[in-house]
Amino acid sequence: MGYHADHEARQPRFFDQSQPMTSILNTTRIYVDADACPVKDEIYRVASRHGLPVSVVAGQFIRVPQHPLIERIAAGSGMDAADDWIAERAGQGDIVITSDIPLASRCVKAGAEVIAPNGKPFTEQSIGMTLAVRNLMTDLRSQGEVTGGPRSYAPRDRSAFLSALDQTIRRLQRQRAEQSAQKQG
């Protein structure tokens, strides 16, 4: 079975088409910085389980499962076009999946929850140091220093990501329920 046929055969596992589509107004949206994201399939499955909309953003169109909760965005080929698209929209109560540290910084400042594909959350407390280390490594590489690259993606990273995403969604759902209860009470 070729890639295309295998890919199509797997699509129904991402989303249960029999479930009614929930109202997506005032709900968490997951934004995926899709260029080189190794956990897109996992995101689709977790989003389906929670009934959350997903915006898959890349420079060019990429293949995504056909489902009303998934939108694919081709932000354009300009420098940081996908990052800018996400940063302009992500905010309080949303989740951004990216390994791009400057994008993570912008989204954290906007109030979004940001998770790297290895499960590492970016927070207001951690983003400053993470950005400083990134800039230092960039400077060292530009001066000819051999700094090595990031470690390769491992199965434990996928597991940590799934756990972090699920915990973040559940925490945001609890916060929304508490806010709703306070407004009614």
The domain segmentation of the chain, as residue ranges, is 27-137+154-184
pTM of the predicted structure, to 2 decimals? 0.77
Higher pLDDT, 148 or 18: 148
Q: Does domain 27-137+154-184 have CATH number 2.60.40?
A: no
Residue 19 predicted with pLDDT over 50 = no
Distances (CA, A) of 167 to 5, 174, 178, 181: 33, 11, 17, 21
Residue 177 Ramachandran class (φ > 0 left, ψ -120 to 50 alpha, else beta): alpha
Owner of token pair 């590489």: 141
Look up residue 73 and give its two tokens: 């965005």
Per cent of the chain over pLDDT 70 is 74
Reported as a single tens digit per residue, the pLDDT across 31-50 is 999 988 999 999 999 999 99
